[in-house]
Amino acid sequence: MENTVNYHIGQFDGPLDLLLSLISKNKIDIFDIPISLVCDQYMQFLQESELDEMELAGEFLPMACELMLIKSKMLLPRPEAETEDPRAMLTDALLRFQQAKAVASKLSALYAVFSGRCVKETDEISIDKTFVLEQSPEALVSAIHKVNVRASLDVRNNTEVFTPMIRKPVIPIDRKIRVIVKSLTKRKRSTIRDLLADVESVSDAVATFLGILELIKTKTLIIQEPDELGEYGIADTHGIDTVLVYNPEAEIPVIGDIRDGDELPVGQLSTDNITYDVE
Amino acid sequence: MEEQGISIVNNLKAAIEAILFAAGHPVKYERIADVLGISVKDVKALTEHLAEVYADEENGSGLMLLNYEESGTCQLCTKEQYAPYIREALGIRKGGNLSPSSLEVLAIVAYNQPVTRSFIDQVRGTDSSYATTSLIDKELIEACGTLDAPGRPKLYRTTEKFLRVFGLTSLEELPVAEHLVMPEDAKELTEEQIAEAAENAAEKPTEE
């Protein structure tokens, strides 16, 4: 049995490769590896490696530890047939590696021959995007007719419908407040429904209602308690409306005096600290 | 009536040929059976017959039909002896051979599949990630699930392309390590041819 090895690490494809080489060199039975001998030779090999191959040697170190571990396990007294052979995993790996190496060279020969078998890439069969005529030209004519009809009815393009919208005046709450006050100066009291009776549009109604709220806030209008209802009994309001009473001593939250026939300029108006933009 | 029967069969064979040509990749027998409205058994019989027709040198076909038993698929490919003509006509250089490391990894996967990357490393006794990744790129091995173990490592097996480029139609045809029985197709190669191929493989530049 040889004790010296004169190989370079670079020749081997890893520690198992080296081990297999040691095993075949020493004519060792792979199923009964003399661990001590193999371990010693392995370590000797690493020690005798050229210094410039140290970076490769790093790969071989884990196996060196593994061998030492197995060697020490083998040295310890083992209870008969109870524990696994510490060499079992190593033997298994060596066998598989040996098989792979043996087959690799045969595979190489096969590949050299049969890699010449070429296959095609899957064909890209795209959907035909050409339009195939299935309708008569008359269909086009009726379609354009429908488009024209729709266009003429389009409200957006119709200036007659559009103009009043942009011309619609802003209704100032101020004006509404004057109207309410004027009306109540005569009537003394009224329900909200009555006050809203003459509105001409939604904007008008909103402005009137906001005016009412403002007057309630300044206590120009006072909400009457139900049991104080004089001529307006609960039956008059049907329980769903409010009776408002005019309080002549309260401030009127508008600019300037109220006179009959007072007309305020159109546009936004503000009453002191209130500004409303009612469209 | 008999003429009608024959032409139906010819029609089916022609349809199979057209499908396999357009697909390029292996097509399942089941798929063909569904499309043609016949049984899988009939598809197999037809493809076997087609394979024979192609293989017969008298018919002068440069194609062959491969039947993969295990995956239940079939594929059209060119006969390897015409590869030089194809390469020259298409201006393709011959690809490098597989490196010894790649072949070892391939062998480990082929004989022990499915395997994890760490199994491969363990058997080779060295880090094999480069070779493994290269083989995946070449579509010779593929992922096929994960192992029920911590980290859920991916399992790998060989592909149909692997079978094709090694002249095999099933994994059973892999050379048995101890006795090294040759696969079906390789039987046609003489010992000299195998030796010559091995020599050529050694001379050509290897990748990696």
Residue ranges and CATH numbers for the domains of chain A are 9-77+84-103 (no CATH), 167-275 (1.10.10.580)
Residues A3/A42, Cβ–Cβ less than 8 Å: no
Residues of B in contact with A119 (CB under 8 A): 24-25, 75-78, 164
- Residue B180 pLDDT greater than 70, yes or no: no
- Weakest-pLDDT range from A14-23, B39-48, B76-85: A14-23
Residues of B in contact with A107 (CB under 8 A): 98, 103, 106-107, 166, 175
User: Which pLDDT tens digit goes with each residue over A35-47?
Assistant: 888 899 888 888 8
pLDDT of residue B105: 92
- Residue B163 pLDDT greater than 50, yes or no: yes
pLDDT of residue A236: 54
Pairwise CA distance, residues B109 & B88, whole Å: 33
Between residues A231 and B106, which one has the greater pLDDT?
Answer: B106
Q: For residue A267, which phi and psi values (nearest 5 degrees)?
A: 135, -175
- pLDDT confidence tier of residue A260, bands split at 50, 70 and 90: very low
- Residue A226 pLDDT greater than 70, yes or no: no
- pLDDT confidence tier of residue B43, bands split at 50, 70 and 90: very high
Pairwise CA distance, residues B166 & B186, whole Å: 9
Residues of B in contact with A15 (CB under 8 A): 125-126
Closest CA of chain B from A101, distance in Å? 6
Between residues B183 and A164, which one has the greater pLDDT?
Answer: A164
Residues B101/B128, Cβ–Cβ less than 8 Å: yes
Mean pLDDT of A30-59: 79
B179 and chain A in contact, CB less than 8 A:
no
Pairwise CA distance, residues B74 & B77, whole Å: 10
pLDDT of residue B136: 94
- Cα nearest neighbour of B100 on chain A: A104
- pLDDT confidence tier of residue A230, bands split at 50, 70 and 90: low
- pLDDT confidence tier of residue B12, bands split at 50, 70 and 90: very high
Pairwise CA distance, residues B145 & B156, whole Å: 8
Between residues A165 and A273, which one has the greater pLDDT?
Answer: A165
B166 to A114: CB separation less than 8 angstroms, yes or no: yes
Which of A93, A111, A119 is closest, CB to CB, to B166? A111
pLDDT of residue A203: 80
Among residues B122, B94, B93, the alpha carbon closest in space to that of B108 is found at: B122
Q: Which of residues 170-189 of A touch B (CB under 8 A)?
A: none
A123 and chain B in contact, CB less than 8 A:
yes
Q: What percent of chain B has pLDDT over 90?
A: 52
B77 and chain A in contact, CB less than 8 A:
yes
Q: What percent of chain A has pLDDT over 90?
A: 0
Closest CA of chain B from A132, distance in Å? 25
- Cα nearest neighbour of B64 on chain A: A117
- Residue A66 pLDDT greater than 60, yes or no: yes
B123 and chain A in contact, CB less than 8 A:
yes
- pLDDT confidence tier of residue A4, bands split at 50, 70 and 90: very low
- Residue B172 pLDDT greater than 90, yes or no: no
| Residues linked to residue A9 through DSSP beta bridges, in sequence order | none
pLDDT of residue B14: 94
Which of B75, B165, B174 is closest, CB to CB, to A115? B165
Mean pLDDT of A80-109: 82
User: Which pLDDT tens digit goes with each residue over B124-145?
Assistant: 877 889 999 999 999 999 999 9
pLDDT of residue A272: 44
A112 and chain B in contact, CB less than 8 A:
yes
pLDDT of residue A5: 46
Q: For residue A68, which phi and psi values (nearest 5 degrees)?
A: -65, -40
- What's chain A's average pLDDT? 75
Which of A16, A118, A123 is closest, CB to CB, to B124? A16
- Highest mean pLDDT, choosing among A13-22, B54-63, B177-186: B54-63
- pLDDT confidence tier of residue A240, bands split at 50, 70 and 90: low
Closest CA of chain A from B4, distance in Å? 31
pLDDT of residue B158: 93
Which of A100, A116, A123 is closest, CB to CB, to B83? A116
- pLDDT confidence tier of residue A237, bands split at 50, 70 and 90: low
Between residues A163 and B26, which one has the greater pLDDT?
Answer: B26
- pLDDT confidence tier of residue B76, bands split at 50, 70 and 90: very high
- What's chain B's average pLDDT? 83
Residues of A in contact with B100 (CB under 8 A): 13, 104, 108
User: Which pLDDT tens digit goes with each residue over B89-108?
Assistant: 988 887 777 888 899 899 99
Inter-chain contacts counted by CB atoms under 8 A, chains A and B: 146
pLDDT of residue B195: 54
B82 and chain A in contact, CB less than 8 A:
yes
User: Which pLDDT tens digit goes with each residue over A176-186?
Assistant: 888 888 888 88
- Residue A145 pLDDT greater than 60, yes or no: yes
**Structure ipTM:** 0.71
Residues of A in contact with B95 (CB under 8 A): 115
Residues of A in contact with B97 (CB under 8 A): 108, 111-112
Pairwise CA distance, residues B104 & A104, whole Å: 5
CA distances from A173 to A163, A164, B98 (A): 24, 21, 92
pLDDT of residue B206: 43
B11 and chain A in contact, CB less than 8 A:
no
The b-or-e profile of A192-230 (16+ CB within 10 A means b, else e) is: beebeeebeeeeebbbbbbbbebbeeeebbeebeeeebe
- Highest mean pLDDT, choosing among A83-92, A198-207, B145-154: B145-154
Residues of B in contact with A116 (CB under 8 A): 78, 80-84, 86
B201 and chain A in contact, CB less than 8 A:
yes
Pairwise CA distance, residues A127 & A125, whole Å: 7
User: Which pLDDT tens digit goes with each residue over A101-138?
Assistant: 888 888 888 888 888 888 888 877 777 777 677 778 88
B62 and chain A in contact, CB less than 8 A:
no
Residue ranges and CATH numbers for the domains of chain B are 2-79 (1.10.10.10), 100-203 (1.10.10.10)
β-strand A274-275 against A270-271: which pairing, if any?
Answer: antiparallel
- pLDDT confidence tier of residue A159, bands split at 50, 70 and 90: low
Pairwise CA distance, residues B141 & B154, whole Å: 12
End-to-end CA distance of chain B: give it in Å, rounded: 62
Between residues B40 and A235, which one has the greater pLDDT?
Answer: B40
B171 and chain A in contact, CB less than 8 A:
no
pLDDT of residue A193: 82
